[in-house]
Chain A
Amino acid sequence: MVDNINFESSQRRVNPLKFMLWLLIVSIVMMFAAFTSAYIVRREEGNWLEFDLPSVLIINTVVLLLSSIFLHWAYVSAKRDNVGSVKVGLCLTIAAGVAFLIGQWIGWGELVDNQVFFGGHTANPSGSFLYVLTGVHAFHLITGLIFLIIVVISAFKYKVHSRNLVRIELCAIYWHFLGALWIYLYLFLTLNH
């Protein structure tokens, strides 16, 4: 009798943590949507300083893409219980992530050399926006690096393998998202310069 009722099997179809991560990603997307739409609205109003993007940004983009490839390699290795390459892959990802951050720092240096400042009486919102977009993205990338370090530590304790994938999977989702976010920002900035 009771069995006739067509129950919806609502028992944890998605891992709740993964679902939460996606929701947090949505909120980060909204934040950058606000920044970039503010950028467009402000640009339309004129009094907008035009300058060239730092040339190092394209190198940084490639580095960040590489880091995502390393992380994917680590993830696939974890699935196949290839613990050694998990560690190598994760360490390479972190190295590439740090390299990206250093590259962004160099990019800021280039901007300063070109007299494009974040604040002060010579600053124009067009320059300030570039600092904000890259800076807030870099902040999130640092949180991603912290997450990666946690995963690396557990990998060295042999806790990342085919039956314990949740952690590296969440980390990979977040990291790939940050990469995709950067590509969006890079394209956005390139098209608007």
Chain B
Amino acid sequence: MSSTDISLHNDVHSGHDEHHDDHHDQSFIEKYIFSQDHKVIAKQFLFAGIFWAIIGGTLSSLFRMQLGFPEATFTFLEPLLGKWVEGGKLDPNFYLALVTMHGTIMVFFVLTAGLSGTFSNFLIPLQLGARDMASGFMNMLSFWFFFIASIIMFYSLFLETGPAAGGWTVYPPLSALPQAIPGSGAGMTLWLVSMAIFIVSQLLGGVNYITTVINLRTRGMSMAKMPLTIWAFFLTAVLGLLAFPVLFSAALLLIFDRSFGTSFFLSDIYVAGEALTHTGGSPILFQHLFWFLGHPEVYIVILPTFGIVSEVISTCARKPIFGYRAMIGSMLGIALLSFVVWAHHMFVSGMNPFLGSVFMFLTLIIAVPSAVKVFNWIATIWRGNINFTPAMLYSIAFVSLFISGGVTGIILGNSALDIQLHDTYFVVAHFHLVMGSAAFFGMFAGVYHWFPKMFGRMMDEKLGYVHFWITFICAYLIFMPMHYMGIAGFPRRYYTWTGFDTFSTFLDMNSFITIAAIVVFVGQFIFLFNFFYSIFRGRRATENPWKSNTLEWTTPVNPGHGNWPGPLPVVYRWPYDYSKPGAQEDFIPQNVPFSQTASSNLPHERDFE
């Protein structure tokens, strides 16, 4: 399949070589729908990601209401949800489906496709000085495969038996047996089909990102002069390329188990007193395959925001990023380690304790590169001339959330502690802070920061501040109490917990978390209003509103197809020459040659004058 795409595209290029951009007018459909322009595709991913984030957030509000107010009746939801809230009581199966779809949507559709899809597509060609991606056609296919996957997943929400309900990790045998829960019927089938298509989309996109970074850098843009954003997107794409095919294998075997009667993951099971014909499978095998993707996946989610945050912090602190090479090195280290720690998700699945200690050891090593990054971000802010733009606030908050969530990662990485905490809200708090909230904050930072380049207008700062403080305070109000509940043994995944006296003392705390969750969800509409209003009515942006060094700010306010009207910019220096002593301004863009900055050149740079 992929091979035919390549040859088709080759034909397009050999037909008319260089002058394929500006000359012919594009129809509306070519320009905005089936566009091959990386900037349009990025916006398509952004809008799709926002759509999915609203769905995912709505689902979480629903199940938080159940958890926070277990005795209440939600009759007002009946017109919307029908039989799922019969008599105002959430159906237990519906609760499981909500949690499952919340996880799936947020991890894959928002924080993988929405995040990488938006910023990798938008920034890689612009920051590298390329006209477009290596293959615009494959890039377009990547979005439309994602779109098909989205439609299938969205459709599954409206099935009579409900969407998939076996958790976003879809562990068999629960997910493999339609007899087990209603959600393992048609909903699970659609989940698998949707994810298979999603993986194809990610591979097409990732192959493009990697090829563009390796092959289409402009003159002077060596790997060691690339902005950290590009390094982050590059490594994210590499992780995706290596990890997603493994999930595809696992999904394929699960499809065979469900629909073709094989027994890869199923072994000697009785359902309702009746023995199934399956024999000889291993459910642990699925967990190994799933988490071999699943752990790199959390870095696929968080790495792009590492890059975005590094860029925003350096620009808004008006200081060179502290430890540029250490930042690259730590990202490489994290990317490498992410493939050898997957079994720390399986400490309670029954593992050889010796194997457990190996994975524990490797897991704890990840703290080292993570700490290097945190130290460097703080050192960059230290004594900087900080512009507190909304993007900067989000970036600083990202560092805060990453520390709070990361520290509990060290606790959970210890197998002895994990066995105690694994099935409690401590884990929920940990990963929501470190990869959920942190990745969302990085994404918000990116949207606020690059909005002027995307739409040629500025977002409203005051609304941005309001949005920030609501989101930041509520993020901690939601997840900090969860740590405490988790240590106290409060179990996760439970639909109702009022039947246990031990947990009834947590009623108030659960209600409190729910209220905070609903407040933060409502607060996001401030962002949505600001976003859509500013697209049409925002203050007009200048070419370089943040006085930033990277190449995307050398394009016109609304870059056209091909990005630069004239020749491509040439790169002379690294992207972090902020507040350089002796320079006339506090920033020197990458395309300024050393010959023009004689007053600020360092001794070793004089050779380049």
Contact = CB atoms under 8 A, between A and B. Distances in A.
B393 to A, nearest CB: 36
B207 A120 contact: no
B214 interface: yes
Interface in A72-123: 118-121, 123
B410 interface: no
B522 interface: no
A48 B281 CA distance: 10
B2 A119 contact: no
Contacts of B135: 16-17, 20
Given A42-B285, A123-B263, A26 B241 contact: yes
B207 A47 contact: no
Given A10-B222, A42-B282, A27 B261 contact: no
A45 interface: yes
B263 A28 contact: no
B241 A23 contact: yes
A27 B241 contact: yes
A144 B3 contact: yes
Interface string A160-182: 00001011001100100000000
A132 B249 CA distance: 10
B597 interface: no
Contact of B262 (A2, A20, A38, A125): A125
A136 B263 CA distance: 17
Residue among A19, A23, A33 with most chain B CB within 10 A: A23
Given A120-B261, A121-B277, A23 B3 contact: no
Contacts of B463: none
B217 interface: yes
A151 to B, nearest CB: 7
How would you classify the secondary structure of chain A's contact residues: helix, strand, loop or mixed? helix
Contact of B249 (A5, A23, A38, A41): A38
B593 interface: yes
Contacts of A2: 593, 595
B505 interface: no
Contacts of B249: 31, 34-35, 38
B72 interface: no
Interface string A1-37: 1101101101111101101110110111011011100
A28 B245 contact: yes
Nearest to B206: A23
A124 interface: yes
A62 interface: no
Residue among B2, B250, B607, B608 with most chain A CB within 10 A: B2
Contacts of A20: 6, 134-135, 138, 207-208, 211
A27 B203 contact: yes
Interface in B361-380: none
Contacts of B500: none
Given A30-B245, A119-B262, A170-B3, A5 B292 contact: no
Contacts of B468: none
B7 A170 contact: yes
A79 to B, nearest CB: 18
B6 A17 contact: yes
Given A4-B608, A23-B210, A23-B241, A150 B256 contact: no
10 contacts: A5-B220, A16-B212, A19-B215, A23-B210, A27-B241, A27-B245, A42-B264, A42-B282, A128-B264, A132-B256
Given A19-B211, A166-B10, 10 more contacts: A4-B608, A5-B593, A16-B216, A17-B135, A30-B245, A38-B264, A48-B280, A118-B262, A143-B4, A150-B7
Interface of B: 1-4, 6-7, 9-10, 14, 134-135, 138, 203, 206-208, 210-212, 214-222, 241-246, 248-250, 252-253, 256, 260-264, 277, 279-282, 285, 288-289, 292, 572, 593-595, 607-609
Interface of A: 1-2, 4-5, 7-8, 10-14, 16-17, 19-21, 23-24, 26-28, 30-31, 33-35, 38, 41-42, 45, 47-48, 118-121, 123-125, 128-129, 132, 136, 143-144, 146-147, 150-151, 164, 166-167, 170-171, 174
